[in-house]
Amino acid sequence: MTTRHEDLIGYKLMLAFDGMTPPARILEWIANRRVGGFSLFRPYNYTSPGQVRELTAALQRAAREAGQAPLLFATDQEGGQLAAMGEGTTQFAGNMALGATRDPELARRVGRAIGLELAAMGVNINYGPVLDLNTNPRNPSLGIRAFGDEPGNAARLGAAWVQGLQSAGVAATLKHFPGKGEAAVDSHYKMPVIAHDRQRLEAVELPPFKAGIEAGAKLLMTGHFAIPALTGTSAYPATVARRVMTDFARGELGFQGVIITDALDMGAITQGVGQIIDVIAAVRAGVDLMLIMLDADTQERLYNGLNLAYTRELLDADQVQASVKRIMNLKEWAAAKPQPDIAVVGCAEHRALERELARRSITLVKDEAGLLPLRLADGARVAAVMPAPKDLTPADTSSTITPHLGAAIRACHPNVDEFVTSHHPTSQEIAALRERLAGYDLLVLGTINASMQPEQPAMVNELLTLDIPTVTVAMRTPYDLATFPASRTHLCTYSIQPASLDALAAALFGEFSPTGQLPVSVSG
């Protein structure tokens, strides 16, 4: 292994760039410097599976020509609300849908399918699974990204997902260690403080991570949140704490793989010229890879700052060497795996699995009105109402999904009109909608995170007074039911992906009986 400190520092960086083909700046970096690899994101690097395969292949060729070790390519293909690889790939419903099935074997199959598709595109790391537990229903950045709020269920499903993903030659990343489910603020903007004591962490937050480590996950992603039970302070995040990254993750839990930061452009981490302090602290804490976003000036500043820190002996040379050895071992593991044919991406087998997950996750919470299965006269008029999809957090690609509730129900009954409302419908919009819906025979009202804002509940509660048979559907987090308890027939889909809404329609009309179980506690 090379001993030049510039090479050692380069291998510890995961960069990002804006380009569907390799930008000249990135090719120049590869030609003249070392690099761990690159994170790929839907808005900046994706148009189709074939394009990503060509992009990663071109960069791997550049690395070989420069005498570099094979590159790491990572992305956030979680499923559900966050799919960094878009149209053309199989869009699985995501973790909370899996949580509703309580089936580790299904989680393993989904993980493997995601892995095969990523590997075919040249991506060898997935930033998943999310192992945070959604113990705080008002956590602004988690929701359906979690398997649920039960440690045992999340541990079983997460471990199986890891095994499935890695069986396809793609490394899994356990995140966000050591568990940010209780966060009340989004770490993209501000540092959360997880104030639980050690006993609570051992009982709730940590079992999924322990199971993921035991399953052989190759990477662990740090959480940008303070955790005083492990550090003794709320002054700084776990990412920069040696007591978390080295003493706890490696010492107590025995994790021997690669530790990577969450994105370093988040508000929970110092930004601007002071950012290098947190990055040096993260390296000293025992973190291996720095996840740096697109800004070229930031990349240069952190690369040069870490090199300077090394020459000033702020970084321990033996520690850096050991860290780079772990990174090289990961590169070798990834490079040894055969690349599947691109035809596996979106193949019929994976689409069938997508439908299976969607159907098995549909959860009937209650049918006090006895509406199901629906038996409608041919001329009965059905109104399907849902908010326009939007990205509710930076870790969200929901805005790319076309509203599908009306089309899904229309496949089972011909006389269906769809109404797509604002995500935050105004009182005027609600009043106009009430007037338009007065003549319908059935309402299907979908909500998206209604529990986090007052406008959607106001709309649903107003429409429930129409005295029209109504089915309400929580299409993202299940907590929405608590905001309109007057609903007498209620289901959860955990996803607005077309497959999930097709499954909902099939369940409504009796093609199958829903078997999903709520993976979180919900009142209402």
Q: What backbone phi and psi angles, to 5 degrees, belong to 328?
A: -65, -35
C-alpha closest to that of 489 among 507, 471, 468: 471
Is it true that the peptide bond before 129 is cis, omega within 30 degrees of 0?
A: yes
Using CA atoms, how far apart are residues 387 and 118, in angstroms rounded to an integer?
Answer: 31
Using CA atoms, how far apart are residues 233 and 472, in angstroms rounded to an integer?
Answer: 44
C-alpha closest to that of 89 among 40, 52, 125: 52
Using CA atoms, how far apart are residues 224 and 201, in angstroms rounded to an integer?
Answer: 17
Using CA atoms, how far apart are residues 110 and 98, in angstroms rounded to an integer?
Answer: 9
Please give the positions annotated as active site: 188, 262
Q: Give me the residues paired with residue 382 across strands.
A: 416, 442
Is it true that the peptide bond before 224 is cis, omega within 30 degrees of 0?
A: no
Contacts of 306 (CB under 8 A, 6+ apart): 9, 12, 276, 279, 280, 283, 315
C-alpha closest to that of 175 among 290, 289, 259: 259
403-407 LR contacts (CB < 8 Å, sep 24+): 403/496, 404/496, 404/498, 404/501, 404/502, 405/444, 405/446, 405/473, 405/475, 405/501, 405/504, 407/498, 407/501
Q: What backbone phi and psi angles, to 5 degrees, belong to 456?
A: -65, -45
